Amino acid sequence: KNEVEQSPQNLTAQEGEFITINCSYSVGISALHWLQQHPGGGIVSLFMLSSGKKKHGRLIATINIQEKHSSLHITASHPRDSAVYICAVRGSGGGADGLTFGKGTHLIIQP
């Protein structure tokens, strides 16, 4: 079973700061997802990647398959970025049983 670890668990930063959230996993995967969950809200998919780097606006996600590690970066952070960011992986074994999730990183951006 894949173990997914995220760091930090909690992060408070000032508006405008560059944010990095890390995710590591223990077993080879076919894809990694970054998800966003606002307080009391649903879960939204931000990125899905299996290699390299993806960018959407101020968000950048990278993955290093050899090191079993991914990072989510937020440039010019804003209070509306405050949310829980969740890393999830899809195994490479061919099973249909969904994703394995990290515990999430609770991000607060202060004005």
Partner 1 sequence: NAGVTQTPKFRILKIGQSMTLQCAQDMNHNYMYWYRQDPGMGLKLIYYSVGAGITDKGEVPNGYNVSRSTTEDFPLRLELAAPSQTSVYFCASSPRWAANTEAFFGQGTRLTVV
Q: Is 96 helix (H, G, I), strand (E, B) or coil?
A: coil
Total interface residues for partner 1 by CB under 8 A: 27
CA 9 distance to own-chain centroid: 12
From residue 47 to residue 86, the character string flagging contacts with partner 1 as x (rule: CB under 8 A) and all else as - is: -x-x-----------------------------------x
Nearer to partner 1, 8 or 16 (CB): 8
Q: What minimum distance in Å lies between the beta carbon of 106 and partner 1?
A: 10
Interacting span for partner 1 (CB under 8 A) from 19-27, 64-72, 75-83, 101-109:
101-109
Nearer to partner 1, 68 or 90 (CB): 90
Buried b (16+ CB within 10 A) or exposed e, 33-44: bbbbeeeeeeee
Dist CA 30 CA 59 (whole Å): 22
Give every CB contact of residue 44 below 8 A, 6+ residues apart in sequence: 35, 36, 37
Q: What minimum distance in Å lies between the beta carbon of 62 and partner 1?
A: 17
Dist CA 25 CA 12 (whole Å): 24
Chain residues binding partner 1 by CB under 8 A are: 4, 30-31, 33, 35, 41-45, 48, 50, 86, 88, 90, 92, 94-104
